[in-house]
Chains A and B, each alone.
Chain A
Amino acid sequence: DGGITQSPKYLFRKEGQNVTLSCEQNLNHDAMYWYRQDPGQGLRLIYYSQIVNDFQKGDIAEGYSVSREKKESFPLTVTSAQKNPTAFYLCASNPTGKNTEAFFGQGTRLTVV
C-alpha cells in the first residue's frame, strides 16, 4: 500500500541530545513537509522540500535541520538548540500542483525529559 511512514510513533530523549525523526513515502511525491503540532496552535511549518537536494525553512525552523537526499525520504533532526522540543511532529507529502492535497503520516510524539 502507498503511504507515508513515520517512525517511531513515540520517542523519548534526554535534554541536550539531538534526535532524528524518520519520514518515508512511497507515493512518488515531489514535495514533503514537516509540521509541529502543539495544543491550541494548530500545525506550524518547520521545513519543506519541493525537490530532491533542496529545502526551505518554514515558520519555526530554528533548532531543526533536514535533508532530502532521496525523493522518498525527508528526515528531521531536532537539535539541542530547540528550546522546547516536546511536541507531536507530522510529516506530509503531496504531488506537484497547487490544488493537490497533502497526505500525512501518523505522527511521532517526541518527549524530552
Chain B
Amino acid sequence: AQSVTQLGSHVSVSEGALVLLRCNYSSSVPPYLFWYVQYPNQGLQLLLKYTSAATLVKGINGFEAEFKKSETSFHLTKPSAHMSDAAEYFCAVRYNNNDMRFGAGTRLTVKP
C-alpha cells in the first residue's frame, strides 16, 4: 500500500540546535506531501506542504522541508530549535485517490 514512513519516533535536541525530522514516501509517482504539528490533546496544524511548485518549501515557525525525488524523501528541518517547538510532528501524503495518509509521528523534545 502507498504510505509514508517517519524514521525515529522520538527526537531530542538542545535549544538552539538543528532540528531534522525524517519522512520518506513509497511511490514512484510523486505525491502531495504535508507536515503537521500537534500539541497535546489538540488537533493538527499545518506547517507546510509540497505541491510541485518548488522543491524547497518554507512553512510557519521557521520550519522548512526539501522534496527529493531521487530519495523519495521530504525531511523537515529548522536551523535553531526553540522550547516552544516541543510537540509531535506528522508527515502526510495524498495520492490520486485523494485520501490523506499519515506517518506514525515523531515526538520532538527540546532540552534547555
Contact = CB atoms under 8 A, between A and B. Distances in A.
Nearest to A50: B98
Contacts of B98: 31, 50, 98
A35 B101 CA distance: 10
B32 A33 contact: no
Q: How large is the interface on B (under 10, 10 to 19, 20 to 34, 35 or more residues)?
A: 20 to 34
B18 interface: no
Nearest to B99: A48
Interface of A: 4, 6, 31, 33, 35, 40-45, 48, 50, 56, 58, 88, 90, 92, 94, 98-99, 101-107, 109
B42 to A, nearest CB: 6
Interface string B40-81: 011111100101100000000000000000000000000000
A42 B96 contact: no
A55 to B, nearest CB: 11
A98 B99 contact: no
Given A50-B98, A98-B32, A40 B9 contact: yes
Contact of B41 (A40, A44, A50, A109): A109
Nearest to B53: A99
